[in-house]
Amino acid sequence: MRILVTGVNRGLGFELIQLGLEKGHTMIGTWLKTRDGIDSLQALQAQYPDRLMLVEMDVTSEESVKAASELVRQRYDSIDCVVNNAGILLESKYNLEDPIINLDIGMFRKTLEVNTIGPAIVLKYFMPFVYRSCDPCVINITSEAGHLKTGLFTYLAYGVSKHGANMYTQKIRNFLASRPEYEHIRIFMMHPGRMNTVMGAENKQIEPSESANGIYDIIEKRVDPKLDIPFINYKGEQMPY
Ligand SMILES: NC(=O)c1ccc[n+]([C@@H]2O[C@H](COP(=O)([O-])OP(=O)(O)OC[C@H]3O[C@@H](n4cnc5c(N)ncnc54)[C@H](OP(=O)(O)O)[C@@H]3O)[C@@H](O)[C@H]2O)c1
């Protein structure tokens, strides 16, 4: 399969690229070129020169995503699976200040731009590739933080952004399901588990490699949930919404 993953220089994105290459897939990894992880990515590229394409792409910039899609188009016509993985968490779990009157609007806006609007920009330019696949799939990595529940006020901006990403996914899922020519497209919003990454270390329960393995079970259809509200965890189990 040909698979595109966003935000691949570290964390879950890197694991997905590495495991996908080991499994024989052709991988397109997008990343913010100036940051961490360059050595690891370059090592993978040296090992798999024909099956790994790395493209610089800021998911918050329509110009950047469009340019990346044009570069990919020079090499590939279709993509079988897009994994919207790039994300940010800019809040501390233990910030006990009043989150209403102390809200950092810049932080809130940035969080929404990356986590909610980013996946929509990516699919605006990469869904045409998915439409041309014979076995298409989209996985938007959201979070358990994206569902409504009582008793929690941690991660306010992050929770709102992931809830928005879930709603975006459900809206486009409903659109796809309503069109005979698109109803075969598998689309999921996914909680990848509480992973031991830069973002998730303070709540960690699993390594990102375990999550990546579960995600490939879904991509490769060993696990194939058929749900009206396809909010799942990395094992393919329904998440509460
Ligand atoms: N870790 C967890 O426990 C957990 C739990 C639930 C959901 N998630 C979700 O799982 C996904 C992966 O998380 P992770 O733990 O692997 O996080 P991570 O280690 O912090 O990695 C996030 C990745 O996203 C990239 N990114 C950030 N802003 C970007 C932008 N504007 N354009 C392109 N790439 C951008 C980062 O690039 P830079 O390195 O250049 O910043 C990095 O490669 C995220 O969507 C996250 O919200 C994680």
Residue-wise pLDDT for 58-78, tens only, equals 999 999 999 999 999 999 999
How many angstroms is it from 98 CA to the middle of ligand 1?
Answer: 26
How many structural domains are present in the chain?
1
Q: Evaluate whether residue 241 is within a structural domain.
A: no
Q: Which of 64, 27, 30 is nearest to 48 (CA)?
A: 27
Q: In degrees to the nearest 10, what's the CA dihedral of 18, 21, 25, 28?
A: 60
Is the pLDDT at 153 greater than 90, yes or no?
Answer: no
Q: Evaluate whether residue 110 is within a structural domain.
A: yes
How many angstroms is it from 171 CA to the middle of ligand 1?
Answer: 23
Q: Is 119 in the pocket of ligand 1 (CB under 6 A)?
A: no
Q: Evaluate whether residue 56 is within a structural domain.
A: yes
Residue nearest to atom 8 of ligand 1 (CA): 143
- Element containing residue 54 per DSSP (H, E): strand 52-56
3-class SS of residue 186:
strand
Q: Which of 88, 112, 113, 83 is nearest to 13 (CA)?
A: 83
Q: Evaluate whether residue 239 is within a structural domain.
A: no
Task: Give residue 19's domain range.
Answer: 2-233
Q: Is 7 in the pocket of ligand 1 (CB under 6 A)?
A: yes
How many angstroms is it from 48 CA to the middle of ligand 1?
Answer: 24
Q: Evaluate whether residue 240 is within a structural domain.
A: no
Q: Evaluate whether residue 139 is within a structural domain.
A: yes
Pocket-testing residue among 5, 8, 10, 194, ligand 1, by greatest number of atoms within 8 A of Cβ: 10
CB 15 within 8 A of CB 92: no
Instruction: Report DSSP letters for 146-168, one per residue.
Output: GS--TT--SSHHHHHHHHHHHHH
Domain CATH code at residue 23: 3.40.50.720
Q: Evaluate whether residue 81 is within a structural domain.
A: yes
Q: Evaluate whether residue 205 is within a structural domain.
A: yes
pTM: 0.98
Q: How many residues are given for the chain?
A: 241
Q: Is 60 in the pocket of ligand 1 (CB under 6 A)?
A: yes
pLDDT tens figures, 88-132:
999 987 766 888 999 999 999 999 999 999 999 999 999 999 999
Structure tokens, 205? 């329960």
